[in-house]
């Protein structure tokens, strides 16, 4: 299975290389090739998802058969040296090329593979200029994202993390709107600046672990680091010592935070997002909102919360405040927009605020809800951006003032748009509710004030989304008169080329949804409804991984991941108390638990 995982990750890269090497490929062939690769990756991901054993914790599908690796010492960490040696760093297992999935990464991995399909369909007719390069960049981005979620080595994670910047820079810069140059450069520099600080944080984690772990092992393995840092016998690392922002754990938390906060983005660091979203081509927007932002949340879970739990606990008041500010700021700004894409971009800021609010409840309920919310946001925002792409392809405007009454013109489109908006507005029975409601619940248990303010954001969210539906779909039919003069980068769908010179749009000049547009949106709609009705399978898969993370907050100095406890031949004395049973509910979060060894 480990080979299958590697094939899944690198299949898009293969497609990208084929497309790169044939730059003159015509649009039809290029998009069909891209679709085949994307569907192939999705199929492989489906196999992996079905083969995944939700009962086990710890990474699955990881290769461990490395004959060159030294046998671990008896009292060594319980995690084997996954994958293959990539770079020798002296004693220890070195930097490894290790891929594997646990429940948390599996769902985001699957989300990436799923969202690629509507992205390809969204570019079906809208990319005329160098289509092969466009699809190559998309597939390159997919490899980066899949690898990122599957990486079991911090350096490998970072390599994929940074690598995603390059294709996205070109996707925005070459295929974006009129301000694309500024948008792509801003996006690139902003995210790079943050992620370099994250790199410093990651190196610091590795070295702290090396210096203070009992065996002084230099390891880059994520499971090993997580386990080791949780039980690090260093007085400066404990919950009690993390009482000011200059303590080691708080400092490293901040360094890691810098990169992920910009990716998410958390409130004051969100300024790049609306620009990038508005300028990006539809496919870029779908992937940016759908997956790229989740990288930030994933990084918070894997690094900030799992490896520096006390640092996280120290900053919770600040972070919760920023999250709420982000929710309200995003929602209020979205209210004021008349550009639909800009509106959805700001709604992303608001919804990702819910994700971070859930994460920083530091409870298992909050973490699970935040993860679900990340998937929901990927599906609904992906669907919304796809809908906007459909609209823009037909009218060459995204201005709500120029559009109206489209229900009669595009009934199927209207149905999809309404469903996506309702899902996004957290209507019970659809997916948004499953995420946002438990987040509010968990937050209410921690501090009701934040929860009340955040629910205000939820109400605002419903308001601006319904307002958008009302202005776009209902009322008298309004269509821009000059929509038939295409911009150089965006020509309307092929099947109405003969209408180019019509100045008054007739009903026949606005084609109904094409098969590819329907095929792109239907899976997302199914996801929106399915998660709303049966979220349990996802919860089952993410729970074990998130429980490990959540135990770090409940009783920090005593708990280690259950997998360590299960497989370690000689658990350290502190493990003698069962720890995984603590804190299953948000109300039992107690951050001030005293360490009995003190």
Partner 1 sequence: MPTTTPQPLVPLAREWLLIAPELWLALWGLVVLLADVAFFRDAPSARRARFLGILALDGTLIALLLALARVVPSPLGIELTNQDYSIFGGTLAADPSTAWLSLAVLILLSLLLVLSPTWDFTDHWGEFFALVLWSTVAMLLLIAAEELLTLFLALETMTLCLYVIAALERDRKRSSEAGLKYFVYGSVASAFFLFGLSLIFGLTGTTRLHAVREALVGSAGSLGLEGNIAGSVAVLLVLVGLGFKLAAVPFHAWAPDTYEGAPAPAASWIATGSKLASFVAATKILAVALGGWAAQTGSPDTPGWALPVALISAASMTLGNLAALSQRNFKRLLAYSSIAQAGYVLVGVVAAGVSRDPARAVGAVLFYMVTYSFATLGAFAVAAWLARDLGTDELDDLDGLGRRRPIMALCLLVLMLSLIGLPPFAGFFGKLALFMSALETGESGRLSLTWLVALGLINSAISAYYYVRVLRAMYLRPARGDVGRSLPSGVFWPLTVGAAVALFFGLIPGALFEPMQAAAVPLLASGEDPRGLSPETNPFATRPTEEDAARARELRRQQIEQGRQRLQPGTPGA
Where do contacts with partner 1 occur on this chain (CB under 8 A)?
A: 23, 85-90, 155, 158-160, 162-163, 165-166, 169-170, 173-174, 180-181, 184-185, 188-189, 192-193, 196-197, 199-200, 203-204, 206-207, 211
- Return the structure tokens found at 132: 């092969």
Asked if residue 508 lies in contact with residue 409, where contact means CB atoms within 8 angstroms, the answer is no
C-beta closer to partner 1: residue 241 or 519: 241
Q: How far apart are CA 531 and CA 435, in angstroms?
A: 10
Closest distance between partner 1 and the C-beta of residue 455, in Å? 38
Closest distance between partner 1 and the C-beta of residue 163, in Å? 6
Give the helix/strand (H/E) hosting 97: strand 95-97
Question: Among 147, 124, 148, which residue's Cα sits nearest to residue 494?
Answer: 124
C-beta closer to partner 1: residue 202 or 513: 202
Closest distance between partner 1 and the C-beta of residue 178, in Å? 12
| 181 contacts: CB under 8 Å, gap ≥ 6 | 173
b/e map of 39-48 (b: 16 or more CB within 10 Å)? ebbbebbeeb
C-beta closer to partner 1: residue 26 or 129: 129
Asked if residue 63 lies in contact with residue 82, where contact means CB atoms within 8 angstroms, the answer is yes
Q: How many CA atoms lie within 13 A of 6 on its CB side?
A: 10
Closest distance between partner 1 and the C-beta of residue 246, in Å? 12
Closest distance between partner 1 and the C-beta of residue 245, in Å? 16
Angle between helices 180-212 and 248-263 (to 10 degrees): 150
Closest distance between partner 1 and the C-beta of residue 160, in Å? 8
C-beta closer to partner 1: residue 64 or 196: 196
C-beta closer to partner 1: residue 256 or 430: 256
C-beta closer to partner 1: residue 85 or 409: 85
3-state DSSP of 308-364: CHHHHHHHHHHHHHHHHHHHHHHHHHHHCCCEHHHHHHHHHHHHHHHHHHHHCCCCH
* 151: helix, strand or coil: strand
Placement of tokens 């989740």 in the chain: 294
C-beta closer to partner 1: residue 213 or 431: 213
The β-bridge partners of 487 are 490
Closest distance between partner 1 and the C-beta of residue 199, in Å? 6
C-beta closer to partner 1: residue 197 or 530: 197
Closest distance between partner 1 and the C-beta of residue 259, in Å? 11
Closest distance between partner 1 and the C-beta of residue 532, in Å? 39
Give the helix/strand (H/E) hosting 49: helix 27-51
Asked if residue 83 lies in contact with residue 97, where contact means CB atoms within 8 angstroms, the answer is yes
Q: Is the peptide bond before 265 cis (omega within 30 degrees of 0)?
A: yes
C-beta closer to partner 1: residue 23 or 475: 23
């Amino acid at each position: 299975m480990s080979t299958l995982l590697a094939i899944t990750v690198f299949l898009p890269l293969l497609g990208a290389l084929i497309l790169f090497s044939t730059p003159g490929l015509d649009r039809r062939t290029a998009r069909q090739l891209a679709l085949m690769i994307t569907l192939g990756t999705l199929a492989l991901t489906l196999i992996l998802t079905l083969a995944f054993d939700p009962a086990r914790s710890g990474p699955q599908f990881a290769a461990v058969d490395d004959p060159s690796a030294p046998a671990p010492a008896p009292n060594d960490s319980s995690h084997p040296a996954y994958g293959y040696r990539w770079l020798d760093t002296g004693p220890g297992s070195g930097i490894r090329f290790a891929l594997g999935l646990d429940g948390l990464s599996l769902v985001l991995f699957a989300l990436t593979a799923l969202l690629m399909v509507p992205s390809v369909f969204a570019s079906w007719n809208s990319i005329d200029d160098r289509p092969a390069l466009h699809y190559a960049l998309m597939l390159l981005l997919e490899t980066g994202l899949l690898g990122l979620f599957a990486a079991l080595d911090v350096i490998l994670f970072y390599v994929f993390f940074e690598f995603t910047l390059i294709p996205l820079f070109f996707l925005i810069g070459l295929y974006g709107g009129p301000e694309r140059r500024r948008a792509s450069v801003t996006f690139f520099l902003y995210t790079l600046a943050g992620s370099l600080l994250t790199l410093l944080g990651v190196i610091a984690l590795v070295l702290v672990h090396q210096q203070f772990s009992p065996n002084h092992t230099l390891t880059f393995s994520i499971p090993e680091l997580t386990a080791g840092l949780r039980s690090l016998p260093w007085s400066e690392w404990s919950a009690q010592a993390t009482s000011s922002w200059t303590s080691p754990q708080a400092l490293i938390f901040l360094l890691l935070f810098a990169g992920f906060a910009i990716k998410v983005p958390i409130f004051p660091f969100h300024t790049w997002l609306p620009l990038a979203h508005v300028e990006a081509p539809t496919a870029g927007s779908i992937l940016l909102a759908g997956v790229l932002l989740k990288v930030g949340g994933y990084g918070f879970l894997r690094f900030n919360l799992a490896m520096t739990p006390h640092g996280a606990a120290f900053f919770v008041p600040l972070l919760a405040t920023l999250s709420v500010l982000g929710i309200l700021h995003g929602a209020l700004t979205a209210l004021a927009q008349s550009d639909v894409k800009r509106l959805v971009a700001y709604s992303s800021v608001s919804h990702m605020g819910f994700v971070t609010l859930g994460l920083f409840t530091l409870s298992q309920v909050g973490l699970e809800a935040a993860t679900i919310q990340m998937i929901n946001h990927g599906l609904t925002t992906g669907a919304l951006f796809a809908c906007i792409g459909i609209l823009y392809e037909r009218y060459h405007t995204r201005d709500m003032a120029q559009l109206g009454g489209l229900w009669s013109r595009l009934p199927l489109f209207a149905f999809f748009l309404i469903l996506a908006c309702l899902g996004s507005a957290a209507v019970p029975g659809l997916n948004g509710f499953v995420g946002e409601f438990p987040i509010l619940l968990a937050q209410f248990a921690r501090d009701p004030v934040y929860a009340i303010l955040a629910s205000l954001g939820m109400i605002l969210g419903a308001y601006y989304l319904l307002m958008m539906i009302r202005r776009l779909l209902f009322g008298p039919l309004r269509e821009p008169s000059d929509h038939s003069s295409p911009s150089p980068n965006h020509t309307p769908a092929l099947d109405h080329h003969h209408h180019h010179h019509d100045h008054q749009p007739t009903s026949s000049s606005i084609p109904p949804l094409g098969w590819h547009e329907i095929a792109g949106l239907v899976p997302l709609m199914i996801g929106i409804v399915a998660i709303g009705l049966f979220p349990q399978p996802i919860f089952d898969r993410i729970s074990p991984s998130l429980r490990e993370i959540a135990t770090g907050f409940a009783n920090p100095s005593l708990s280690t991941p259950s997998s360590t406890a299960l497989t370690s031949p000689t658990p350290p004395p502190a493990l003698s108390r069962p720890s995984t049973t603590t804190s299953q509910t948000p109300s039992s979060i107690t951050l001030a638990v005293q360490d009995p060894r003190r």
